[in-house]
Structure 1
Amino acid sequence: MVLVTGGTGLVGAHLLLHLIENGESVRAIYRNQYNIQKTKLVFELYKKGDLFEKINWLEADILDVPSLEIAFIDIDYVYHCAALISFDPKDEDLLRKTNIEGTANMVNFSIAGGIKKFCFVSSIAALGDIAPHETYITEETDWNPEKPHSDYAISKYGAEMEVWRGLQEGLDVIIINPGVILVPVSKTKIFDEGISELYQKVVKGLKFYTMGSTGFVAISDVIKIAYELMKSNIKNERFTLIADNTVFRDILNTIADTLKVKRPTIHAKPLLMNFLWMADLIFSALFFQKRRITKATAKASYSKNLYSNEKIKTALGTVFLDVHHYIKDSSKL
């Protein structure tokens, strides 16, 4: 049997559907009964609602050791998708506890339970820092602790260290580092729980764009590759999963065109982005509101990072979906 954490999140929900479609017996853990409905919505989005009933749901938490003891009964393979994603500095402690301690718990139980293979869904945020002589960030790029990183990136890097510790203790592992994951979008479902916040902002009339770039990938590619890696003889490796390095403006324009809404028209240059995050810091402190833009997200918006996907293409012969075509085609769902 396969155990999936984070099954009520977008990656986990899509993974559950893919596993069941491929005849796998699956157990998924959840913390809140209400959140299960988000997964059901994903199944229904693909017109696969009947398969939802095949999931063996179990109430458990990656930070609650007693509940994990039950979750790991009769488990052979683990996909650890659960994580906290936040770029708000106030969430630093919670990020480290959830992403690092939670992963450590999953690794410990996997070792104790003799799990055959463990897949950890990480992020390109946990990859290294490019050196002056390098052009692309790869799986081998060194992490430089002297350089600034977001709390989220640090927590995912720390989680990866726990997975590599598991390898040293005899656990076969796979780490995947997806870029910005794009999900299906249709105008009638745009405000459903779990649909990318990026789409919501565009629909609501996002005015600003930036010329920074990063790696993007369709969620269907992420899920397919994770499954293929777990079924293969490949082990104890990490793989960067990006279809292409794309400018934020171009992605926003494709989303806007697909949804038939106005494109963002104001170029937010680095100076403006830095002003916005400082203004947001003051505003959130005065009115006790959650941060909408932080120093880390501002910097990411105009940074031009290039990531290489050569390793996974060589390992599996992967041909990635074009992300612009994916956005347009997924609007038909």
Structure 2
Amino acid sequence: MIFVTGANGLLGSHICKALIDNGYTVKALVREDSNTFLLDDYLDKLEIVNGDILNPESFDNELEDVKAIIHCAAVVSFHQADKALMDKVNVEGTANMVNLALDKNIEYFLQISSVAALGRLTGFGTVTEDNKWQESKWNSNYATSKYYAELEVWRGIEEGLTAAMINPSVILAPGVGAKSSSQLFSYVWKESTFYPMGKVNYVDVRDVCKAALQCLKLKKTKERYIVNGGITTYKELFDLIAKGFGKKPPHIKSNPFLLKIGMFLDKLRSLITGKKTIITTETAKLTKSEIYFDNTKAKNELNISFADLSDSIEWTCSKIKEQKSKLYT
């Protein structure tokens, strides 16, 4: 039995499905009254557990028959107002799951981290798993919370936990209504005008699932693995998504002047509608980055290959269109 936290999220839902497709039984942790749309076609194949990682007593009795935990639950945000929430959920929540794993003698623990947790001083160059964390303007509040979450896993390892971490880049995955990287597809679907400067590291969600399954199978421990399919420009990424949707791609390259105007208008929209801004200081900074996250270790030690970008986008767009047809028909 595998216990998956954040099971109704963009990545968690796909990991649950991949586990079931590979013969595992799954307990899927979701908060009560959460939307389980991304799990709908697998609800009869897994066991839903209602609970909250900030209140481990709400589900700790469900771990008695569990062999491994895959911890996907996290808050992803680039808004300053969400810093405290990320610190609590991403760090304290991970500490709670590590403590439960130790208390229940869980055989294996896999932390879903992020390339954001890898140290870097500049927005350029190559980053590997060996990069040490350093305070830098390139570290978002989300990145900091994921780094401290990793420290909780290392603490668990020191206390006897068999555990590892995988660090995905921007995950390309179908997930209508989901947050985080799915917003890239929503942005293009709406035929937005601008595309940012800089480059983006990407990975197909199916490859992230492969990496998780390999770590589980091989019981990799005391390791972290960058799970990254490659790097491309935002223009190429948006052009491919637009092609997959049959939409007009963003066609005006953003520059510092346009970005300032966009941030001002976005903030004005936020004040009028009460909805959060789309463009933040952190997201604006990150779009200027041209770092490459080296996937050599994952290729060699997990024996996985990565999907071609065009194939990944084509598959993701087709699945999103299927999801939209189910939701709106």
Please state how far the C-alpha of 1:234 moved relative to its aligned partner. 2.3
Residue 160 and residue 25 in structure 1: after superposition, are their counterparts in 2 closer, same or farther (change >3 A)? same
- Mark the CA change 1:106 to 1:288 in structure 2 (over 3 Å): closer, same or farther: same
Deviations 1:249-277 (A, max 9, x none): 11001001111111111100234324533
- In structure 1, the gaps of 5 or more residues are 41-48, 185-189
Q: Is the 8 A contact 1:274 1:295 kept in 2?
A: no
Shift of 1:245: 1.1
Taking a change above 3 Å as real, the CA distance of residues 169 and 271 of structure 1, as seen in their structure-2 partners, is farther
Residue 240 (structure 1) shift: 0.5
User: Which of these residues, 312, 319, 324, is aligned with residue 305 of structure 2?
Assistant: 319
Say if 1:78 and 1:115, in contact at 8 Å, map to a contact too. Answer: yes
Q: Check if 1:194 corresponds to 2:178.
A: yes
**Percent of matched pairs sharing the same residue:** 36
CA distance in 2, matches of 1:121, 1:176: 5
| Residues 204/317 of structure 1: CA separation in 2 closer, same or farther (3 Å cut) | same
Map of 2:69 onto structure 1: 78
Task: Tell me which residue corresponds to 1:21.
Answer: 21
| Cα offsets for 1:90-117 (capped at 9, x unmatched) | 1111111010000000000001111111
Count of residues in Structure 1 that have an aligned counterpart in Structure 2:
317
8 Å Cα contact 1:8/1:36 also seen in 2: yes
Deviation track 1:166-204 (CA, whole Å, cap 9, x = no partner) reads: 1111101110110000014xxxxx8x3238121111111
Alignment of 1:160-175 (within 5 A): 160-175=150-165
Contact 1:17 1:52 (C-alpha < 8 Å) held by counterparts: no
User: With structure 1 as the length reference, what TM-score do the two structures score?
Assistant: 0.89
Distance 1:276 1:30 in 2: 36
The worse-fitting range, judged by mean Cα deviation, of 93-102 and 272-281 is 272-281
* 8 Å Cα contact 2:138-2:285 kept in structure 1: no
Distance 1:255 1:147 in 2: 30
Runs of 4+ displaced beyond 4 Å: 285-288
CA drift at 1:308: 0.5
In structure 1, give the amino acid aligned to 2:232. Answer: T
Root mean square deviation, CA, Å: 2.1
Tell me the amino acid that sits aligned with residue 178 of structure 1: P
Partner of residue 187, structure 1: none
Q: Report the CA distance shift for 1:255/1:148 in structure 2 as closer, same or farther (over 3 A).
A: closer
Which segment is superposed worse, 267-276 or 64-73?
267-276
Deviation by residue 1:134-168 (Cα, 9 ceiling, x = unmatched): 83111111211244521111111111111111111
Aligned mates of 2:75, 2:122 — CA distance in 1: 29
**Deviations 1:285-319 (Å, cap 9, x if unpaired)?**
57644122110000111221111001111112321
1:94 corresponding residue in structure 2: 85
Aligned-partner residue type, residue 194 of structure 1: A
Show the counterpart of 2:324: none
Does structure 2 conserve the Cα–Cα contact (< 8 Å) formed by 1:214 and 1:307?
A: no
Contact 2:113–2:166 (Cα < 8 Å) also in 1: yes
2:116 matched to which residue of 1? Answer: 125
